[in-house]
Amino acid sequence: MATKKEDNFEDDSGDESKQVLNFSTIVAGIILLILSETFFYLLSEKTGATFGLTQIIFALILAIVLTLFLLWIRWIMFSDKYTGIFISIVATAGMYYGLTRKYQGAYTTTFGIIGAILILSYTIMQFVQASKK
């Protein structure tokens, strides 16, 4: 069967949910970058260690990986929102546990809780958007 030249199978106009990066993901990524850079800076101030290019690059990579995790959760929410919630909660708890195994103290607890709240609020926001479909 031949298709007509006027048939447009690629018309996704008006469907904002299929965009890879949306405003909330970009904002969450920027906040995670600021949070991770601030954590390593304050950690170096408290411990007396140097804060150099290695810590900046590590914090940048950490923010990128966490943003990719948020994108993955968003992608999972498209197919099954309850699986996305479960994976997000389990992975966030695992990341918080890993952070507290490596570092201890008030800064670690504060930054870990802020990061967990950010990730879980992003997940809840994506859950609500997936429920509206």
Confidence of residue 30 (pLDDT cuts 50, 70, 90): very high
Q: 43-75: per-residue pLDDT in tens?
A: 888 888 888 899 899 999 999 999 999 999 999
| Token pair belonging to 59 | 């914090």
Q: Using a cut of 0.85, tell me whether the model's pTM lies above it.
A: no
Instruction: Find tokens 């943003």 and name the residue.
Output: 67
For residue 91, which amino acid is it?
Answer: A
Tell me how far apart the alpha carbons of residues 99 and 66 are, in angstroms, rounded to a whole number: 13
78-100 tens-digit pLDDT: 888 899 999 999 999 999 999 89
pLDDT at 11: 47
CA 113, CA 37: separation in Å to the nearest integer?
16
Please write the tens of the pLDDT for every residue from 5-23: 555 544 444 454 556 678 8
31 versus 12: the higher-pLDDT residue is: 31
Q: What's residue 45's pLDDT?
A: 87
Number of H helices, E strands in the chain: 4, 0
The full length of the chain comes to: 133
Q: Which residues touch 24 (CB under 8 Å, ≥6 apart)?
A: 122, 125
Indicate the angle between helix axes 53-79 and 23-47, nearest 10 degrees. Answer: 150
